Amino acid sequence: MSYYFTILSPSDAPLFNIAFGTSKSGGDGIARFRFPDSAQYMNQFVIHSSLDIVEEAQWMNGNMYLKHIDTYPPAAAYISAFLTPSGTRFLLLHQPPQPPSTSSTGGSSLLSSSFSGASSSRASSSSVAANPTSPQTEEAVRQFMNEVYENYVKTIMSPFYRQGMEIRSPVFRTKVTAAGRKWL
């Protein structure tokens, strides 16, 4: 599972973004998107296009966490969204890894799965990584969003931060990475 997390201002300007991979079930925390390396802009396109849905959902729904709102089927990318009271959008694109038949998931996991294939596949099917629309995933993303939100509020309360500025605090970035490692 690979993740691309973006914070967008109410006027769609990006304030922060980070890409990371799952750290659960043996993941090494490095994002491996399905787009080829030359097409990493697709993440931003997919996120940007899902703003259509966010705009619609934010008026239909009283919650801050909008859950899974959009899908980009060609790359199996799923978008979850979170709204802050000031209208800032947190968008998380998550993309399950490609089926192992087409791409290897790494040498070590291949070795281990060769003899414990059944058990590992069962474990991965129940974990967050394999099933992006399951309730567990929704819950994990919610936890992640809440934690990021907490840190976000602390960050923007910094006296040197003005609204609409890009967030460049390294502390915030580590916090987000930690939250990603913890929940996703």
Could you list the residues that contact another protein (CB under 8 A)? 8, 11-14, 17, 19, 30-31, 37-38, 40-41, 43-52, 55-56, 58-59, 73-74, 164-168
Nearer to another protein, 2 or 127 (CB): 2
Nearer to another protein, 7 or 140 (CB): 7
Return the DSSP state at 75.
Answer: G
Residue recorded with tokens 């990493």: 40
Q: Phi/psi of residue 64, each to 5°?
A: -80, -40
Q: What's the closest the beta carbon of residue 97 comes to another protein, in angstroms?
A: 16
Nearer to another protein, 112 or 174 (CB): 174
Please count the helices (runs of H) and the strands (runs of E) in the chain: 5, 5
CB 73 within 8 A of CB 111: no
Nearer to another protein, 46 or 140 (CB): 46
- Nearest CA to 3 out of 101, 91, 105 is that of 91
Q: What's the closest the beta carbon of residue 96 comes to another protein, in angstroms?
A: 15
